[in-house]
Amino acid sequence: MKRIFGTVFWLLAMTTAATQPAPAQGLLIEIPDLDGYVGVVAGIVPDYLGSDEYTWGVAPVGRYTFEDSHRSISLLANEVYANLLDNENWYLGPEALYRLPRNDVADDVVDRMRKVDGAFEIGANGGWRWISEQ
């Protein structure tokens, strides 16, 4: 079973990194025929939504797929999510995200706004994945 995510993932990740205030939300990193991995990714994100100032950094990334199953747990920077369905196309599971705070902003006008604390968000994610057999 081959999953076509390589080139598509990197194109989406670059596009998302340039437009999202948080890491590539909801993007699934999959490496064919590999049940688990741990690594580090580097990227840039705006300092806050709408900012023209960017911050770069590194963040952890990992995935574990349970043996003989499509169930998995994934980590992408500040987001953790799981797939509880044992289905090749459908996925459903919990998700947790840490939103970074907004303080000490380089823009004088935005810096006058109230500070925004970091926050944990908990929810669910689900959907259908297209898988190519090429």
Per-residue pLDDT tens over the stretch 67-126: 889 999 999 989 999 999 999 899 999 999 998 888 778 888 887 888 889 899 999 999
The pTM of the whole model exceeds 0.75 = no
CA distance 65 to 67: 6
Per-residue pLDDT tens over the stretch 22-79: 444 445 556 666 778 899 989 888 877 778 888 899 999 999 999 889 999 999 989 9
Q: What is the mean pLDDT of the chain?
A: 78
- CA 38 → CA 41, 64, 122, distances in Å? 10, 9, 23
